[in-house]
Amino acid sequence: MALKCSKCGAANPDNARFCWNDGEKLIIVGTNPFRFRDGNSAMTLAELAKHIVQNWSDSIEHLYQGDFGVWLSSIGRGDLSMTARQIVAQERDQYLGLEKFLQKLEDDTPSPLSKPKEVINPIDDAAMILILEGEFLMGSPEGEEYRNECPQRIVYLDAYHIDKFEVTNAQYRKFMKATGHKAPDDWSYTHASQQNHPVVGVSWYDAVAYAQWAGKRLPTEAEWEKAARGADGRKYPWGNSPPNMGASYRANYKIDKYGTGHGYSYTTPVDNFPMGASPYGVMDMAGNVWEWCADWYHSEYYRAAPKKNPAGPSSGNARVLRGGGWVNDNTHYLRCAFRGSHPPSMKFSYVGFRCASTY
């Protein structure tokens, strides 16, 4: 049944919802279940929250058209409905608004929205997040981005753990002290003043040596991308909005000529951009430093890659790099699907790494 606002005539063809044109609520009895535009439905707050996490862009539309508010009122949760309405009225950044609404649901229903499962590696004291087995959307559609990201496809990965943060100077110092491994370039400057910044100036071989010492490994390119974007094919770890939406930065990248638009011109502490977290809670998957992955790089690999646990070509001249870094002044490099590469022996002030482990 199509509804119209009695004052402004705005059509509301799906469910009853708030009419934001005049601020009045159009009420219809019995709106259960809540129906999302992709065909899924929710009968409980837990189901509502689960789908929000799985389909961020669709949920944005529902929140800012008032659908959530009307449905919450219909099930006797007008308090949460008011929260939704206040977010729409006050929050300039739509993605941040949805995050706040989701947090309110989490506060109200803690069990269905449990925090990401974290473990602490006993060797390097790194927090690691469990990424459960399942499918995700990898790459980019043909003709939309670079050819080496195509075709976009559904990939299945077994469960694994990945470091919540990039490996820091403090952790790398512990590794060098335990093994006698050679220090990175410019170490005398960075290790003393930037303990919680990501280590840089390390080759792929250095990263592998660290991972082996810590009882871990480098993530595959597919594992890295799933941890960065979740299952819904989002553009950036936080969603599809720009990294500076609402004047709130979500990543460390070169903002202006000198890179100081957000107060930094080099690396930042690894916990500096909480709004940039991925759907799993993994930090700095966009910006700060590029990250070595386990795979050899080939520009055409996606066209023949297996759809289950792809591990990259068997050989090559360069290793995969992901994530973009402080040196980049184009947000294109921050996209979850962007693929970079360097010869494994190379060392740069904008390249670091994080580790993974098999579950």
Closest C-alpha among 117, 111, 137 to residue 230: 137
Is residue 221's pLDDT more than 90?
yes
Boundaries of every domain in the chain:
3-108, 118-358
Q: What is the pLDDT of residue 259?
A: 58
Residue with tokens 């473990």: 119
How many of the other CB atoms lie within 10 Å of CB of 217?
17
The domain made up of 118-358 is a member of CATH 3.30.1330.10: no
Is residue 70's pLDDT more than 80?
no
**Secondary structure class of 352 (helix, strand, coil):** strand
Write out pLDDT tens, residues 238-254.
888 888 876 778 999 98
What percent of the chain clears pLDDT 90, i.e. is strictly above it? 53
Is residue 205's pLDDT more than 90?
yes
Helix or strand run (H / E) with residue 330: none
Is residue 319's pLDDT more than 50?
yes
Give the full edge-to-edge strand order of the sheet including 290-296: 340-342, 319-322, 290-296, 351-352
The DSSP line for 137-180 is EES--TTTS-GGG-S-EEEEE--EEEESSPPBHHHHHHHHHHH-
Write out pLDDT tens, residues 92-140.
677 778 888 887 777 665 444 445 678 999 999 999 999 999 999 999 9
CA-CA-CA-CA torsion sign (64, 66, 67, 72)? positive
CA-CA-CA-CA torsion sign (154, 155, 159, 163)? negative
Q: Which residue has the higher pLDDT, 46 or 147?
A: 147
Q: What is the pLDDT of residue 17?
A: 41
Predicted TM-score of the model (pTM): 0.71
Residues 6+ apart with CB under 8 A from 61: 37
